[in-house]
Amino acid sequence: MRLKDRVVIITGSAQGIGKVYAQRCAREGARVVLTDILDTQPAAEELRKSGAEVLALRTDVAKEQNTNAMAAQTIARFGRIDVLVNNAAIFATLPLQDFWNIPVTEWDRVMEVNVKGNFLCVKAVLPQMRKQGGGKIINIASGVAFKGVPYMLHYVSSKGAVVSLTRAMARELGPFNIAVNAIAPGYTMSEGVLARPEQVNQMRRPIVESRCFKRDEVPEDLTGTLVYLASADSDFVTGQILAVDGGSVMH
Ligand SMILES: NC(=O)c1ccc[n+]([C@@H]2O[C@H](COP(=O)([O-])OP(=O)(O)OC[C@H]3O[C@@H](n4cnc5c(N)ncnc54)[C@H](O)[C@@H]3O)[C@@H](O)[C@H]2O)c1
């Protein structure tokens, strides 16, 4: 059990890859905080049945009051915060479109959730991590930031920002013994992605062809790297973006 008793907050974990991260962290002995703009109770129930200690919250990561409440409720329940996984994002529901047709309101919301949400969640957990003398922040970026993938300019730009804020935060938080790293997944067959078979059919082949390992990526491909970054095994690693995509991006 590599995360025994660590308190791990995972945003955007009602479903999809976030839920799979939560399941793996629980199997590694972590106490897990599930939080999403959607209801996290069903996912939390599943975890409790397997014996995990779980807190289920509803949080809009783009609202500071919500993110502060997320940190406060975690401390009230578990007394500490060891790991924050910034997984929440607007992604699977986005239509592919020419960037000049993206409505400004949609652009703003993607930036608000994917970039500001990340900043607010870190801000919220920071006082507790500093008090404890350290912690781990794991941001979820994306391979699209390195590839310049077309037809989702707001999303691609937001993940580029996640790469940059990971590096800058690592420099500012190093003196407090807080590691800040990111995972850059490739195109992954998550629940949300699989709900749009037409898009999958269009995108899957060229992406698989671009990899060294020529197969689909599934959420379970990401969990080993997440556990590594959340555990003591990565204690001298910070400011890094680990591409977990079968060898498509090399940076
Ligand atoms: N699936 C992929 O191909 C892929 C590839 C690279 C990176 N990623 C990233 O991995 C993460 C998970 O991907 P997924 O495929 O499960 O995506 P998804 O869109 O299915 O899940 C995102 C989750 O975030 C939640 N969320 C959205 N807005 C929120 C808000 N304001 N506050 C709190 N929660 C909010 C959603 O409700 C959802 O549960 C995302 O950060 C995504 O950008 C995914």
pTM score: 0.99
The residue contributing the CA closest to ligand 1 atom 39 is: 12
**For 201-215, what is the mean pLDDT?**
96
**For 222-244, what is the mean pLDDT?**
98
Q: Could you identify the atom of ligand 1 that is nearest to the CA of residue 217?
A: 3
State the pLDDT at residue 243.
98
Whole-number Å distance between alpha carbons of 71 and 244? 28
Pocket test for ligand 1, best of 17, 220, 225 (most atoms within 8 A of CB): 17
Q: Is 21 in the pocket of ligand 1 (CB under 6 A)?
A: no
Q: How confident is the model at residue 140 (pLDDT cuts 50, 70, 90)?
A: very high
- Strand segments, DSSP code E, in 54-152 are 54-58, 83-86, 135-140
Position 60: which residue type? D
Q: What would the two tokens of residue 94 be?
A: 């986005």
Q: How far is the CA of 12 from the centre of ligand 1 (A)?
A: 6
Catalytic residues: 155
CB contact at 8 A, 137 and 173 = yes
State the pLDDT at residue 48.
97
Give the fold, CATH level 3, of 7-244: Rossmann fold (3.40.50)
Q: How confident is the model at residue 2 (pLDDT cuts 50, 70, 90)?
A: very high
